[in-house]
């Protein structure tokens, strides 16, 4: 049991990839707190993991007061918080950048940047006091180069990469270290709709050097590794797990030249 009696909080842990992470931490002996905006998902989570060491909150990471109350309850119940997984996040409707609506842009920035910082600060304060803590944020591969259609999302996730570096510099002296992961397209969570259609799975697989999408288990094991004692010297860093997709180019220059052009 790698995380026996560790207290872990996973934002957006009631559904999707966050829920898979929650399940894995529970299996490794952790006390697991999760939150989400959808009340039914919170109740469903409580039902599914009845009898386990869980706390599930119907709270929103963009609401500072709700997050302060959430953190307070976790710490009152279990006396500490060892690991925060900043997993909650949303993507904008995919449109060319000149057509992005202000309200969609605001919603993505509010959730992915402001909300993630809010969760980080409310739990981070306790970590600083207790002089230990590990924070792992979920960024995205599109944060590295951007991609048409994803601009608000890409900007928001690149902010998490900077936040991770910056806070590692500021908070390491208090025993609080941070990492982020930048996944490519994973076969689950927000891609549930896409992966039901073979054409999308084929498309996303073909633009990845390993010729497949990432799977949920790979996402989970990357998070658990970064949270583990073995990974504690990795600090301020963002791990790209995208099957090599960051190296994707539509037509390499060499191939272009080889065609005699």
Query: Which stretches of the chain bind ligand NAP, using CB under 6 A?
Result: 11-12, 14-18, 35-38, 41, 60-62, 87-90, 111, 115, 138, 140, 183, 185-186, 189-191
Nearer to ligand NAP, 115 or 124 (CB): 115
3-state helix/strand/coil string of 47-70: HHCCCCCEEEECCCCCCHHHHHHH
Nearer to ligand NAP, 106 or 255 (CB): 106
The residue of the chain with the least Cβ separation from ligand NAP equals 189
Nearer to ligand NAP, 128 or 190 (CB): 190
The 8-class DSSP code of residue 104 comes to H
Cβ 114 to ligand NAP shortest distance, Å? 10
Cβ 16 to ligand NAP shortest distance, Å? 2
Contact status, residue 210 vs residue 241, Cβ threshold 8 Å: no
Catalytic residue among 153, 203, 233, 248: 153
Burial (CB < 10 A; 0-12, 13-18, 19+), residue 162, is middle
Cβ 2 to ligand NAP shortest distance, Å? 22
Nearer to ligand NAP, 49 or 174 (CB): 49
Q: Is 153 a catalytic residue?
A: yes
Alpha-carbon distance of 229 to 232, in angstroms, equals: 5
What φ, ψ does residue 56 adopt, rounded to 5°?
A: -125, 130
- CA atoms within a 13 Å half-sphere pointing along the CA-CB vector of 101: 6
Residue 124 tokens, joined: 């981070």
Q: What is the DSSP annotation of 207-218?
A: TSTTSS-B-HHH
Cβ 64 to ligand NAP shortest distance, Å? 12
Catalytic residues: 153
């Amino acid at each position: 049991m790698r995380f026996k009696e560790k207290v872990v909080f996973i934002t957006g842990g009631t559904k999707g990839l966050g829920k898979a992470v929650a399940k894995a931490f529970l299996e490794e002996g952790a006390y697991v707190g999760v939150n989400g905006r959808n009340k039914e998902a919170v109740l469903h989570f409580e039902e599914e993991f009845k009898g386990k060491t869980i706390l599930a909150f119907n709270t929103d990471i963009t609401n500072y007061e709700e997050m302060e109350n959430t953190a307070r309850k976790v710490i009152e119940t279990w006396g500490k918080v060892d690991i925060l997984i900043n997993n909650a996040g949303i993507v904008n409707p995919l449109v060319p950048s000149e057509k992005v609506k202000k309200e969609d842009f605001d919603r993505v920035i509010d959730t992915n940047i402001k909300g993630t910082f809010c969760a980080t600060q409310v739990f981070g304060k306790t970590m600083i006091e207790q002089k230990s803590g590990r924070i792992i944020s979920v960024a995205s591969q599109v944060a590295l180069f951007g991609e048409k259609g994803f601009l608000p999302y890409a900007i928001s996730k690149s902010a998490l990469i900077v936040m991770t570096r910056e806070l590692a510099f500021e908070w390491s002296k208090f025993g609080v270290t941070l990492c982020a992961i930048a996944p490519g397209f994973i076969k689950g969570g927000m891609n549930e709709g896409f992966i039901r259609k073979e054409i999308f799975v084929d498309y996303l697989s073909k633009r990845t050097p390993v010729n497949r999408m990432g799977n949920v288990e790979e996402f989970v094991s990357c998070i658990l590794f970064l949270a583990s004692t073995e990974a504690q010297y990795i600090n301020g860093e963002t791990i790209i797990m995208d099957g090599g997709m960051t190296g994707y180019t539509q037509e390499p220059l060499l191939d272009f030249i080889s065609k005699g052009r």
